[in-house]
Structure 1
């Protein structure tokens, strides 16, 4: 039993270390965005930030707080690139209509689990 407890604790501590290391690789403006979300009331659906490879660079997809609002894609400097989906039609703003077909290497950066 003691060995099982040690293994579980080791796995838990290692998973937290990996999560912190992953966040250190995220641009500071995205880290600030996460802090801002953590200081706001929880949204439904829960806020989440994903990293993708798109058009030769890393981008960050942030889901909207509710229905009929645009989901947003930011570059590494937190400039809005486009809104690939969401909105009244569900098809975004049309500026990156290929996003959902071309994006690659999805990585969940953060999700509000409160």
Structure 2
């Protein structure tokens, strides 16, 4: 029983420590985007390296995570981390076609974070 308790405590401690890891991003980055970055950092390294970009699109600040590996779609989130659409990637390469004007209408590009792991 003590062995199981020790394992549970170790798992809990690891979870707490890694979930509180500081993410080096601009201070005005929403907490939900910081959580997404921490999640990406806990996954295997992506190829190409993962990144998060901030843009203005349709009158709001949005966060774009480019596609990676194996026909995965990109992700475009609002500042509350609600998925707006997938502008590109996926099996067709053109995302989910819900925001086909994203690349022509986006402005104020800003790199928020890029994974520097190898």
Sort the TM-score into its range (normalised by shorter chain).
Answer: 0.7 to 0.9
Aligned residues: 95
Which of 48, 58, 63 matches 1:60? 63
4+ residue runs over 6 A deviation: none
From the two aligned structures, give the one with the greater helix fraction: 1
CA RMSD, 1 decimal = 1.5
Alignment of 1:93-108 (within 5 A): 93-108=96-111
Counterpart Cα distance in 1 of 2:42 and 2:31: 17
Contact 2:67/2:88 (8 A) holds in 1: no
Cα shift at 1:38: 1.6
Cα shift at 1:67: 3.4
Contact 1:49/1:61 (8 A) holds in 2: yes
- Long gaps (5+) in structure 2: 1-22
Q: TM-score, normalised by structure 2?
A: 0.75
